[in-house]
């Protein structure tokens, strides 16, 4: 079991290595990213213990924006819509229906 004292000693050892130039913070960041990727980067699906966190991060990425282009999002939306049987065809507006039927508008145009 790691005690508070063990954690403090480890943190101080890392700080000392950085101060002495033995450890580059950029290298530490790269190692941290590798470890995070190893722990979190594999997405299995709803049965995975990390699934709720994956979904939370996915929503946060979408909320921030810019990571996934709109055309790619549209492709994924089409894939999911087809899988779920959802019709993505935009409904025809009442004005398009009226114009197609030749109904006169307020100015008497259209028919």
**Tens of pLDDT, residues 18-74:** 899 988 888 888 989 999 999 999 999 999 999 999 999 999 999 998 899 999 999
pLDDT of res. 105: 58
Burial of 10-41, coded b for 16+ CB within 10 Å and e otherwise, reads eeeeeeeeeeeeebeeeeeeeeeeeeeeeeee
DSSP string, 38-106: HHHS----TTSTTHHHHHHHHHHHHHH-SSS-HHHHHHHHHHHHHHHT---PPPPPHHHHHHHHT---T
What's this model's pTM, rounded to 2 decimal places?
A: 0.56
pLDDT per position as a tens digit, 71-87? 999 999 999 999 999 99
């Amino acid at each position: 079991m790691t005690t508070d004292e063990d954690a403090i000693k480890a943190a101080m050892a890392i700080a000392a290595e950085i101060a002495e130039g033995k450890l580059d913070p950029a290298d530490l960041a790269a190692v941290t990213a590798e470890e995070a990727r190893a722990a979190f980067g594999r997405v299995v699906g709803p049965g995975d213990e990390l699934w709720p966190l994956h979904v939370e991060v996915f929503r946060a990425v979408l909320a921030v924006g810019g990571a996934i282009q709109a055309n790619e999002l549209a492709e994924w939306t089409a894939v999911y819509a087809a899988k779920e049987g959802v019709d993505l065809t935009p409904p025809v507006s009442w004005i398009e229906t009226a114009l197609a039927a030749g109904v006169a508008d307020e100015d008497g145009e259209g028919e």
